[in-house]
Chain A
Amino acid sequence: MKHSDLWRQWGWPIGLAALTVFGLLSALLGEDGIWWWLSWLTLATPLLAIVHHAHRSRRAIIKR
């Protein structure tokens, strides 16, 4: 597997995992409102990705 393929396949999962870890830790260790907001935003990205792709695959099925 070429290096670029590997990155193409795993880039998003790794990115989402990094965002999730950041969100969990910033809510745990941060005390200010800004850290909690950052945690809410970063933890919402996997949910948005799920909604976006679930919607897209539904549309693809209906088109066929």
Chain B
Amino acid sequence: MTAPYRHAPPLKNRVPLDVAVAAARVEAPGMRLASVGFPGRDLASPHHYMVLFTGQTALTARLLKPVLVDAATGKVTEARDMPWYMTALLVSQPLHFGNYGGLPFKIIWALLDVATIIVLASGLYLWIVCRRQDRPATAQAEPMIMETAE
């Protein structure tokens, strides 16, 4: 996105922040201003403001839309939507942390966690302890009968 600026001379004066944000806002109608990276800082290039927008709905609030604004002219260099894999990653982030859906959701999430831990622990127990106990008595060992609770 910033390749044409690779050999540009160092930035002398930058346009005011308001001008840059106003120019960027045209590219992201109806979106919420999330953050601005200043020229030369981590988020932006040496010649640009990086203006970041997010959506307004629950689904799009995690989606970032970056708009690069030329800091010398105050004109938009480029605006892009996230590639599909970033969209998928950002939207699915809460699925990893379980920090959404209200308090009942979080309680259910915690109980399902406990159930998973029990399955894991009991499986390890069967594998380690029961296998060790079985080994010397293999000859007389009765075949284990699994009863279905019908």
B-binding residues in A (CB < 8 A): 24, 27-31, 36, 39-40, 43-44, 46-47, 50, 53, 56-57, 60
CB of B120 within 8 A of chain A?
Answer: no
Whether B149 lies near A60 (C-beta < 8 A) is yes
Known: A39-B101, A57-B149. A46 touches B95 (CB 8 A): no
Output the residue of A31, A50, A57 with the most chain B CB within 10 A: A50
CB of B40 within 8 A of chain A?
Answer: no
* Closest chain B residue to A30, Cβ basis: B58
**List of B residues within 8 angstroms of A27 by Cβ:** 100-102, 105
**List of A residues within 8 angstroms of B59 by Cβ:** 28-29, 31
Q: Give the bracket for the number of chain B residues in contact with chain A.
A: 10 to 19
Whether A43 lies near B149 (C-beta < 8 A) is no
A-binding residues in B (CB < 8 A): 57-59, 91-92, 94-95, 100-102, 104-105, 108-109, 111-112, 115, 147, 149
**List of A residues within 8 angstroms of B95 by Cβ:** 24, 28
In the bound complex, CA of A57 to CA of B109 (Å): 24
Main secondary structure of the interface of B (DSSP, over half): helix
Whether A36 lies near B105 (C-beta < 8 A) is yes
**List of A residues within 8 angstroms of B111 by Cβ:** 47
Main secondary structure of the interface of A (DSSP, over half): helix
A-B contact count (CB 8 A): 47
In the bound complex, CA of A28 to CA of B149 (Å): 36
In the bound complex, CA of A44 to CA of B107 (Å): 10
Output the residue of B95, B100, B108, B112 with the most chain A CB within 10 A: B108
A-B contact pairs, 12 of them (CB 8 A): A27-B101, A28-B95, A30-B58, A36-B104, A39-B105, A40-B108, A46-B115, A47-B108, A47-B111, A50-B115, A53-B149, A57-B149
* Closest chain B residue to A29, Cβ basis: B59
Closest 6 pairs between A and B when the two form their complex, measured CB to CB: A27-B101, A31-B58, A40-B104, A43-B108, A60-B149, A36-B102
Whether A40 lies near B105 (C-beta < 8 A) is yes
